[in-house]
Each structure stands twice: as structure tokens, then as C-alpha cells.
Amino acid sequence: MTKRFTAVISAEVDHSYGDFRARREATVWQRWNRVLLTLLLLSVWLVIVSLFVPPYKKLQIGHADIDKLQAQRDEQQALLSHQTREVNLLKTDPAYLETIARDRLDLMKEGETIFRVESAAGNNRKSLDSAKR
């Protein structure tokens, strides 16, 4: 009877060891499945990002170009309005025309003496310009 009892116990022990081994192998496969699933999701995410990053960079560059062009347009519009105002003043205001003629063209009335007072910065600028030539 002891032999029979020993055989039954050893069969039970082998069976429980087999379950442990099967469970261990199952957990190893589950871990591999999780790792592979994580790698798959990571690769899909990287593909999606790589598809959308270059167009997004082009969009940002386009916005920067638009902002730069709008600033240039605003500057040109300001210059145009200033020059339009000056042309209107030259056509309609004789006092302004006289001031511009005296200042820019160095014109003067008969019997008039003009004294020009220039700042030190103006003298330095002229000396630098003549030194460059």
C-alpha cells in the first residue's frame, strides 16, 4: 500500500509542477505579447508623427512668410501715404513748397543771406563719408 500511495502523491506533484510550468510559459508569452503590442503602437505613432510633422513645419514657415509680407505691406502703405501727403502739399501749399525749395535745393530770395547750423553728428557723418571715398 505504501507504493500505491507514493505513486499517487508523485502523480499529484508532477501534475502541479506541470501547471506551474504552463502558467509560467503563459505569462512569458503574455509579456512578449505586451511588449510586441507596445512596440507596434509606438511604431504606428511614429509613422503618424512622421507624416504630419513636415506639413506642419511648412505651415509654420508659411505663417512666418505671411507675417513678414504683411509687415512689408504695412511699411509700404505708410510710405505711400506719406509721399501722397507730400505731393498734395507741394501742389496745394505754396508755403510748404517754398520751405522745401529753400531746404533741399538751397534756393534763396534776392538779398537774403542763409546761415546753416549743423550739429556735431552731421559734421562727423560728413567726415566719415569723405573718409570712405
- The pLDDT of residue 58: 93
Are 95 and 89 contacting, i.e. CB atoms less than 8 angstroms apart?
no
Alpha-carbon distance values, 52 to 46, 65, 85, 108 (Å): 10, 20, 49, 69
- The pLDDT of residue 103: 81
- The pLDDT of residue 101: 81
Q: How far is Cα 119 from Cα 123, in angstroms, rounded to an integer?
A: 7
Are 86 and 80 contacting, i.e. CB atoms less than 8 angstroms apart?
no
Q: Tell me the pLDDT tens digit for each residue of 25-40.
A: 778 888 889 999 999 9
Task: Collect the ranges in the chain with pLDDT lower than 70.
Answer: 1-22, 24, 122-133
Alpha-carbon distance values, 119 to 2, 122, 130 (Å): 125, 5, 17
- The pLDDT of residue 32: 87
